[in-house]
Amino acid sequence: MKVGKVPENILKRAILRQIHYKRPEILLHSGVGEDCAALETEQGEALVFSTDPITGASKGIGGLAVHITANDLASSGAEPVGILVSVLLPPAVQEPELRQMMQEITTECEKLHIEVMGGHTEVTDIVNRPVITVTGIGKVKKEKLVSTAGLKPGDELVMTKWAGLEGTSIIAAEKEELLSETLPQELIEAGRELRQHISVLPEAAIAMEVGVTAMHDVTEGGIFGALWEMGAASGVGIQVDLHRIPIRQETIEICEVFDINPYQLISSGSMLIGAVQGNLLVEKLAEAGIPAAVIGRATEGNDRVVRNGEECRFLEPAGSDELYKIYQA
């Protein structure tokens, strides 16, 4: 396609005609020439906003883009309502590829009852592969708003699902040919299928019912990064047992191929939750078929430590995510 705004006929065919789900709270919907969206709220509600780009994956990025932002909203206790989507495409991308991305976006939005409220689509030679940025809008009763900074000393730390969940699925999809040289195909397939667990909306809803002090979606920097961020935001220490952190065998083996630390690998789909009654929360999650474990607790002071037997690792702010190693290999 030519550099510049996507032509109106392609915009209508590949983008607007894919959007079917509508929310009654939304007053201005996506459309040609519509620069804004509008959302009506009830008194006593808070609007919650979050934005994230997808830069570390190329396959299935439409669906990933939706879930990453919806997960961020869910970590605040909010119900995702709508998204704004910005798509930057290199000139080599053709209309069928754009349509496929949009179909991925709308399919996941309909599953989560989210409306695509608007966005922007542009072809530019400043990027060499598609970049999707999603801004999400959610709503929550003010008294139920949850933050990453609510952790208190003594609170238990519950982790849902597994370390490296999203990263494993991305690596299995992006590097299947290379992985197949050393790993069995069924293991690679199992790694790719982890993507079906990427939404944290179900566990966020259960956590809100049980009672939480803080929630944080485990994204770039992995579980080690998320632990540091929650501790730093809350001004508390962290004590975690490495052996309690859930991890899948396919993640371990796939990460070994690229010398990746799975505990510092992007893990969307896993939620870190602070709770007074961690074991009760784990039980309620198990009843809903969601695996979870109490991996540690918040402490007085500022030391954020992961213990592995007699060894101690002091956590630090997350640097570059381990995922990017696959593009250096």
CATH number at residue 16: 3.30.1330.10
Specify the range with the lowest mean pLDDT, choosing from 92-101, 252-261, 305-314, 315-324.
Answer: 315-324
Q: What is the model's pTM?
A: 0.89
Pairing of strands 304-308, 237-241: parallel
Q: Using N-to-C axis directions, what is the helix angle for 249-257 and 165-174, rounded to 10°?
A: 50
Strand partners of residue 47 = 139
Nearest CA-CA partner of 212 in 43, 113, 74: 74
Both 55 and 167 in one domain: the answer is no
DSSP codes, 40-92: ---TTEEEEEEEEEE-S--TTHHHHHHHHHHHHHHTTTPEEEEEEEEEEE-TT
Same domain? For 98 and 165 the reply is no
Mean pLDDT of 129-148: 92
pLDDT given for residue 49 in this prediction? 92
* 197 and 126 in a common domain: no
Is the same domain home to 54 and 202?
Answer: no
pLDDT at 39 over 70: yes
Q: Which domain holds residue 223?
A: 148-327
Q: Which of 78, 112, 142 corresponds to the end of one domain? A: 142
Q: Domain with 174 in it: what CATH number?
A: 3.90.650.10
Q: What average pLDDT does the segment 111-128 reach?
A: 94
* 230 and 87 inside one domain: no
Q: Is the model's pLDDT at 248 over the cut of 90?
A: yes
Per-residue pLDDT at 37:
67
- Residues composing the chain: 329
Of 142, 160, 184, which residue constitutes the final position of a domain? 142
Question: Does residue 261 surpass a pLDDT of 90?
Answer: yes
* Claim to verify: residue 120 and residue 180 sit in the same structural domain: no
Same domain (yes/no): 95, 227: no
Burial class (CB in 10 A: 0-12, 13-18, 19+), 27: exposed
Spell out the residues 6+ positions from residue 309 whose beta carbon is closer than 8 angstroms to its own.
Answer: none
Tell me: the pLDDT tens digits for 41-92?
888 888 899 988 888 777 889 999 999 999 999 999 999 999 999 999 999 9
Same domain, 184 and 263: yes
Whether residues 137 and 53 share a domain: the answer is yes
171 in the same domain as 310: yes
135/158 same-domain check: no
| Average pLDDT rounded to a whole number, residues 139-147 | 90
Number of domains in the chain: 2
pLDDT digits (tens, 9 = 90+) for 202-226: 999 999 999 999 999 999 899 999 9
Average pLDDT of the residues in 192-199:
96
Mean pLDDT of the chain: 92
Please say which residue of 73, 107, 142 terminates a domain.
142
